[in-house]
Structures are given as C-alpha cells and as structure tokens.
Structure 1
C-alpha cells in the first residue's frame, strides 16, 4: 500500500480566544439560512442541526464537482465526524459554511469545516472535519477515490 499524503492542510496557528485553527482558503463556501424549525427549547439551533448544515454544504460542493464522483460501483459514505461546538447559533442568522480539503487518501477524503456567521466573519459557531470514504455499495468495500474528486480537491496524493 502506498503512503498517503495531504494536499492542503489547515495551518496549526490557534487563536487564543476560540481555540479554533486558522485555516487556508476554502475549497467551497456554502450560504445557508437558519430556519425557525432548527431551534430547540433553549431558543438556539439544536446541536444535531450543525451536522445537517455540514451535510448540505458538502452536497452543494459535490453538485459543483465537474465529472462523475459517484456511480453504481462507487459512492461516498461518512466514516467519521469530529465537530467542536464553539458557540450557540441563534435565530435569525445566515450562515457561511466553509469546506477545506485536509487530506486525500486512496479511497477517502478528510474534509475540514467551519460554520461561521455570514455577517460577522469572526463569529465561529463550529469547526472540525469529516472523513468520507468511497465504497462499492454491493460489496461494502472501499474503492479508489474518483478522479473528479481528486481534481476538485486540488491535487493528487
């Protein structure tokens, strides 16, 4: 098996006020509204909706990837998620979800993310990453990362 390399990595500098990493230019930025139904009994966005925002941002990015990124023999599944809740999101709000390519593997991609307020760029609501693995749905086994994803992510391992 060949070694895996990163294409772009979030920088290690960490602002003291948030504990969040400073990152390079995003791979993709999605604009999403906070909906009234996203709120919980404490009148802020329920923690599970942060994952929904990240899913929507990934789907928006994938819809812009030129070339095939899935077919009957290669589909992405989420293998892991890490999410830091930095502050509550209140309604009304417009969000900016930034995605970053942290790592490309043989069959996987690690996508870093930041959820920010669209009007106040210094207001970080959450950050972390997800690992997406491309697999054959019939066998359940990993398959090679599609070339369209490698190109859209900006490089090869």
Structure 2
C-alpha cells in the first residue's frame, strides 16, 4: 500500500474542513446564502465568497464610531488571499468573522473566516485582505483614520 493518499482520500479530507480555534473576532456578520449565489454545480459560485467578505467588511465599517473615510481618505482593496476550504450549499446561513491581522501606516490587513452559522466548526473559506486608505484625488496612500485605529484597539 502506497504511503501517498489517494485523490479520493485527499478530497474527502478537504471536504471535512474544520475551523481551527481563532481569537475573538473584530466583527461577525451573519449573511444568508441566496439562490442566485449558486452556480451550475448547485453550490455557491467562487466569486460570491468575495461578495460575502465585502459585505462583512462594509457592515463592520458601518459600526466603526467616527469618520473612517472622507474626501481625502478612502479605503481600497489592494490584495486578497482566499482559501476555498469546502463548497457552500443552499440553503445556508453564514457567519463571516473579521480579525485585525496587521495595522500599518496607511493599510490594514483584515483576516477572515467564512463559517456555517448553524455548524460553526464548518469552515468554508479563510484568508485575508489588505485595505489601503488613499486620497482619491492623488491616488497616493494616506495615514489610517484614527477611527479605524481606535476600532481595533
């Protein structure tokens, strides 16, 4: 018997992705899986994972007390890492957890986990995004707003 795992065994392991313990989230958004999120294989299309992450970030930002953007400082996504751990099937409710992974001068790295709301140890995806605050007129980075720094303390 070969010490290498069969493709079937490896696929079964990936399908059983379990969420490892994580620190307390900065914010948790609860989102429904919509019928229109499904693809021809009857599970959530990979691009919708990014939509769920965007919605969770916007919900978090709407709860940040104080101004987190103005005419001279707006966040843009500079990078994204998304690990697809298992397919999301309909119907489902999701918890999208956000964590502050790093605060820089003008950027923030937000780690994320997409979990099943009913089975919180069922991990659908994880990774992070880098958000950079920039001046829309110049396209140059600007310091993070104090409201963002205060919100992650």
Normalised-by-shorter TM-score class: 0.7 to 0.9
- Residue ranges of structure 1 left out of the alignment (5+ in a row): 1-16
Does residue 102 in structure 1 map to residue 101 in structure 2?
yes
Which protein has the bigger helix share?
A: 2
Determine the structure 2 residue equivalent to 1:137. 136
Whole-angstrom CA distance in 2 between matches of 1:20 and 1:85: 12
Distance in 1, Cα, partners of 2:124 & 2:79: 20
- CA shift at 1:21, angstroms? 5.3
Q: 1:70 to 1:99 in 2, by over 3 A?
A: same
SS at match of 2:141: coil
Unaligned ranges ≥5, structure 2 = 1-15
Which residue number in structure 1 is paired with residue 114 of structure 2? 115
Shift of 1:19: 8.0
Over 3 Å off, 4+ runs: 17-22
When the two chains are superposed, the root-mean-square deviation of aligned CA atoms in Å is 1.2
User: Which position in structure 1 is the counterpart of 2:150?
Assistant: 151
**2:19, 2:120 within 8 Å by CA — same for their partners in 1?**
no
Contact kept, 8 Å, 1:34 with 1:91, in 2: the verdict is yes
> Shift in Å at residue 22 of structure 1?
3.5
2:133 match: secondary structure:
strand
Q: Post-superposition shift, 1:153? A: 1.0
Mapped to 1, the partners of 2:113 and 2:51 lie a distance apart of: 13
> In the aligned structure 2, how far is the partner of 1:132 from the partner of 1:89?
26
SS at match of 2:90: coil
| Structure 1 residues 113-157: Cα deviation after superposition (integer angstroms, max 9, x where no partner) | 000000001100000000000000000000000000000011xxx
Paired positions, count: 138
Q: Which residue of 2 aligns with 1:28?
A: 27
List aligned pairs for 1:3-152, cutoff 5 A.
Answer: 18=17, 22-152=21-151
Which has the greater radius of gyration? 2
Deviations 1:15-70 (CA, angstroms, capped at 9, x unpaired): xx748653200000000000000000000000000000000000000000000000
